[in-house]
Amino acid sequence: MKLREHEIIAARTNLRGEIQHQESVSIGDRTPEAVVRQIAQLAGELGADAPINGIGIGIGGLIRNREYVVDATFLGWSGVPLAKLVGEATGIPTLVDNDLVAFTEYEHWFGEGRDDDRFAVITLGAGTGFGLVANGAIVTGQDYGIGLVGHWPLDPAGPLCFAGHRGCATSVLNSDSIARHVSDALGRPVDYEQALDLAEAGDPAARRVTEDAGRGLGRLIAAVCNLTLPQRIIIAGEGVRLASIVADAIREGIARDRDPRASTPPIVLGTKNNVDWCRGAAVLAIQAFVHGTLPGV
Ligand SMILES: [Zn+2]
C-alpha cells in the first residue's frame, strides 16, 4: 500500500511483485486510527480470495526500523507505530518504510536495476526524490526520509523556494512550482498537467518554465553521475512526463556539468502510474518473507 495525501492505493502482488489486484480509497479522516481502519478494510478485500502473507506500506516520511513513523508531515503524523497498529488490526505481519526506499528496493529486486550493482533513482512530482543502490544494497541512513535532495542547488538564477534557496530542486522541479510559474507567466491559473500540456503544444511561457526544469534535472543527473558513478538512472514518479517533454533541455543540463570524456549511463523513464509505488511497498514484505524476517503480530 502507498499512503498519499488524499488516498490509499493498495495492490495484492505475488512474490515477484507482479500486481494481481488493486484498489484505492480516499482518505477522509487523517487520524492514524481512521487510516489504519481503512488499511485493514482494504487488506480484507484484497485478501478475500487469496491469503496475504505480509503487508508493506510506503509513506513519504521519516520512518525508523521499517515499523515506526517518526514524521509524515503530509498526513500531520508524528510518532505513529504504524506497523504495529496495522499488524494488530489485520493479523498480518506489516512493514513500513519511506516510499522512495521501497520504490528503490523494487527496482533493485525486480525492476530496471535488477542486473546492476550500482544505480540511482530520481523521482519527480510533488517532491524530488533520490535513491541509490551501491554494491548491491540500498544506501540509507536515519535522515533518509527528510528528502535531502529537495534543496539541491540547480539554477543560480532560478526562483526562490519556500525556504529561501534560489533555484533549488524544490523551486525548479516540483510539480506545484512548475504549475505556479507557468500560471504567473500566463496570468491565469493552470495545474501541473495543464502546464505540461501547454509545453507539449509549444506555448512559449510553458516551454520556458519546463525547459528550465529540464536543464535543472539534467544538472541533478550530472551531479548524481559525477558523485556516484551509477550504471543506470531511473526516472520515476508523477513528473516522469516532464522528462519526456524536455529531453533536449535535460541533455543540455547534463552536458553542462559533465566532463566531455565521461559517458552518461542509460536513463530509463518509468511510468507515471501510481500503482508502481505499491510494488515497492510490497517488496518490503516480500524481502522479509524471503529472508524469514517477517515480524510477529
Ligand atoms: Zn529550497
Give the other-Cβ count within 10 Å of 46's Cβ.
20
Q: What's the CA-to-centroid distance between 20 and ligand 1, angstroms?
A: 39
pLDDT tens by residue, 103-150: 999 999 999 999 999 999 999 998 999 999 999 999 998 888 888 899
Q: What's the CA-to-centroid distance between 144 and ligand 1, angstroms?
A: 17
Q: What's the CA-to-centroid distance between 294 and ligand 1, angstroms?
A: 38
Structural domain boundaries of the chain?
A: 2-99+274-291, 113-269
Out of 3.90.1530.10, 3.40.50.720, 3.40.50.2300, 3.30.420.40, select the CATH number for domain 113-269.
3.30.420.40
Q: What's the CA-to-centroid distance between 198 and ligand 1, angstroms?
A: 26
Q: What's the pTM value of the predicted model, to 2 decimals?
A: 0.93
pLDDT tens by residue, 49-105: 999 999 999 999 999 999 999 999 999 999 999 999 999 999 999 999 999 999 999
Q: Do domains 2-99+274-291 and 113-269 have the same CATH topology?
A: yes
Report helix, strand or coil for 245. helix
What pLDDT band is residue 229 in, cutting at 50, 70 and 90? very high
CATH architecture observed for domain 2-99+274-291: 2-Layer Sandwich (3.30)
| Alpha helical stretches, state H, 51-191 | 82-90, 99-109, 169-173, 175-186
CA 167/CA 159 separation, integer angstroms: 5
| Alpha helical stretches, state H, the chain | 32-46, 82-90, 99-109, 169-173, 175-186, 192-200, 204-228, 240-245, 247-257, 276-291
